[in-house]
Amino acid sequence: MKTSYLYSNSSAKAYDKPMQQAANDNVIDRKTDEALMCAYAEGHAAAFDQLYKRHKDALYRYMFRQLGNEALVAEQFQEVWGKVIAKRDSYQAHKNQAKFKTWLYKIAHHQVVDCYRAQGRYREWQKVQVVDEPALETFQYDEPDKHHSRTQMVARVKSLIAALPPPQRDAFLLKEEAGLSLQEIADNTGVDRETVKSRLRYAVNKLRTDLNKESLEA
Amino acid sequence: MKDEELQTSKAYQALNQEEPISSPPELDAAILAQAHKAVQAKPQALDKTARSHLTLRWGAPIASAALVVLSVTVFILMPELEQQQALESYKQDFEAAGVSPELLLDDIAMQSEPVMSAPVLAKQERVKASAEKRIKKAKVIQPAAPRLGSFSIQQDSLQSASGAASADFDAMASKPIREMEEKLVESIEEVALLSPEQWSKDILDLIEKGDWLNADNQYLAFAKHYPEHDFNKEYAKLKQRHAAGSE
């Protein structure tokens, strides 16, 4: 009786394997980033796949907007994930201290800064333009009649972001791509909350002013 | 400000929609492969970590202990060994020169007593005292040190022995032994001042001063040591002249 129960149990397991896999995938899908990272640190490679899938595009965009060069971005992007892989045990040890996303973008931010430093462009991080912008009309980007075209506007946004000073661009991208709060950006970049707030304000003002200028000219 | 932020956000999102940027598939594959490989190789990595922890934990104490042992060997044991070797060689040199390392002070006392004149006696006393000091010092420095040798020995043999010893000491003896050897040579030079010429001169000085009593004493000691010396005849003539003069 006992043997047949065991047999039937194992055969049921064999039949249910694809279903169990699907269930596992669902469980993984629903898991938080932190739980996935801990699972990966414990040896579950599938957890990393999910984690990577969730963050790869936003992180790649963040790095691409900061560095510009595709080959360089690919190299630095791989470095960042390499560090995530290498530091999985230390993340597990401090799992209650930081959100995975904050931790990931902190690594990425340092990687970007190091890259600037290696290129001899670190001064760009220190030299922050602080210009009080005059109050302008509110920019309405989604009014195609007032603008040449959506494509042109998008190209303009792109060039304006590229023209921002790196610390302001960094704060803006961390907010837009990673969705980090002011405090999280401050923690990541090693400055206080007010500085981040100010950087963001200047970045937004700059974008808005230039886009408005363009729309007025048009 | 929030409205403005929202608008710039929208503009940025529009940019991302218009120009979607994504990591290249081959890069994704490489990173995922790296991640899988790292997890598979974890036991090995743990071993390495454990090993490195062990090294970190015990490396410093073991290195410190080794340093202490090495320091003790080099700075404490090595000089002692060198000193012992030097003393052995010193002893051998004396023995090779036919010099007995015993009875130095007894000989000095026996040879220098009542017949000496005051200056010679004082000088001899000084030599004796300094020799005693040196021997005591040598005993304090190295209890196993041999006696310095007898003053009854012939000056030449002593000098040759000390010369041979100094040659070796230059190469290998430690500092206290070298100092001792130098002082021994000095004392030998002091004894060498009591040469027949010097001694006879001292006696003649005493005669000039009219101190015939001390001159006679000195001469008796001189004659005992140098029975064949010409000064014996000269002193006899002087003595005859003095006797004739006093008569």
Same domain as B182, residue B100: yes
Same domain as B175, residue B202: no
pLDDT given for residue B8 in this prediction? 82
Residues in B touching A58 (Cβ below 8 Å): none
pLDDT value at A81 more than 50? yes
**Which structural domain range is residue B210 located in?**
198-246
Same domain as B175, residue B96: yes
Same domain as B164, residue B142: yes
Same domain as B230, residue B145: no
pLDDT given for residue A126 in this prediction? 63
pLDDT classification of B118: cutoffs 50, 70, 90: low
pLDDT given for residue A83 in this prediction? 92
Yes or no, beta carbons of A153 and B14 under 8 Å apart:
yes
B210-232: per-residue pLDDT in tens?
888 888 888 888 888 888 888 88
The token pair that represents B201 in the structure block = 């001169």
Q: Any idea what DSSP says for residue B147? A: P
Report which of A50, A26, A188 is spatially closest to residue B35, judged by C-alpha positions: A50
Q: Which of B1, B7, B9 sits opposite A176 (nearest CB)?
A: B9
Residues in A touching B47 (Cβ below 8 Å): none
pLDDT given for residue B18 in this prediction? 80
Same domain as B135, residue B95: yes
**Between B203 and A142, whose confidence is greater?**
B203
Same domain as B124, residue B214: no
Instruction: Give CA–CA dist A68/A75, Å, rounded.
Output: 12
Answer CATH for A128-218 from 3.40.47.10, 1.10.287.610, 1.10.10.10, 3.90.950.20: 1.10.10.10
Same domain as B143, residue B106: yes
A120-135: per-residue pLDDT in tens?
877 776 655 444 444 4
pLDDT classification of A177: cutoffs 50, 70, 90: confident
Same domain as B238, residue B217: yes
Question: Closest approach of chain B CAs to the CA of A119, in angstroms?
Answer: 23
B202 found inside a domain: yes
pLDDT value at A176 more than 60? yes
Q: In a mutagenesis test of the B interface, which of A57, A60, A157 is the best target, namely the one with the most B β-carbons within 10 Å?
A: A157
Out of A77-91, B100-114, B209-223, least confident range? B100-114
Most confident region among B57-71, B73-87, B100-114 by mean pLDDT: B57-71
B9 found inside a domain: no
Q: Which of B8, B32, B36 sits opposite A204 (nearest CB)?
A: B8
B119 found inside a domain: yes
Residues in A touching B7 (Cβ below 8 Å): 138-141, 208
**Between B162 and B26, whose confidence is greater?**
B26
Residue of B nearest to A57 (CA): B22
Residue indicated by tokens 């002070």: B105
- What mean pLDDT do residues A168-172 have? 90
Q: Which of B15, B35, B40 sits opposite A154 (nearest CB)?
A: B15
pLDDT value at B120 more than 80? no
Q: Which of A43, A45, A207 sits opposite B11 (nearest CB)?
A: A207
pLDDT given for residue A3 in this prediction? 38
Same domain as B126, residue B97: yes
The token pair that represents B3 in the structure block = 């409205």
**Between B13 and A216, whose confidence is greater?**
B13
Instruction: Enumerate the domain spans of chain A.
Output: 56-127, 128-218
Same domain as B137, residue B180: yes
What is the share, in percent, of chain A residues with pLDDT greater than 90? 16
B123-142: per-residue pLDDT in tens?
667 767 776 776 666 555 54
Residues in A touching B40 (Cβ below 8 Å): 45
Same domain as B95, residue B180: yes
B229 found inside a domain: yes
Residues in A touching B19 (Cβ below 8 Å): 154, 158
Domain count, chain B: 2
What ipTM did this prediction achieve? 0.74
- Residue ending a domain, choose from B176, B193, B210: B193
A17-63: per-residue pLDDT in tens?
555 565 666 666 678 888 888 888 888 888 999 999 999 999 999 99
What is the share, in percent, of chain B residues with pLDDT greater than 90? 6
Q: How many CB pairs under 8 A join A and B?
A: 99
Out of A4-8, A87-91, A114-118, B177-181, least confident range? A4-8
Say if B32 is an interface residue toward chain A (CB within 8 Å). yes
Residues in A touching B16 (Cβ below 8 Å): 61
pLDDT given for residue A79 in this prediction? 92
pLDDT given for residue B85 in this prediction? 80
pLDDT classification of B153: cutoffs 50, 70, 90: very low
Within 8 A by CB and 6+ apart from A176, the residues are: B9, B12, B13
pLDDT classification of B149: cutoffs 50, 70, 90: very low
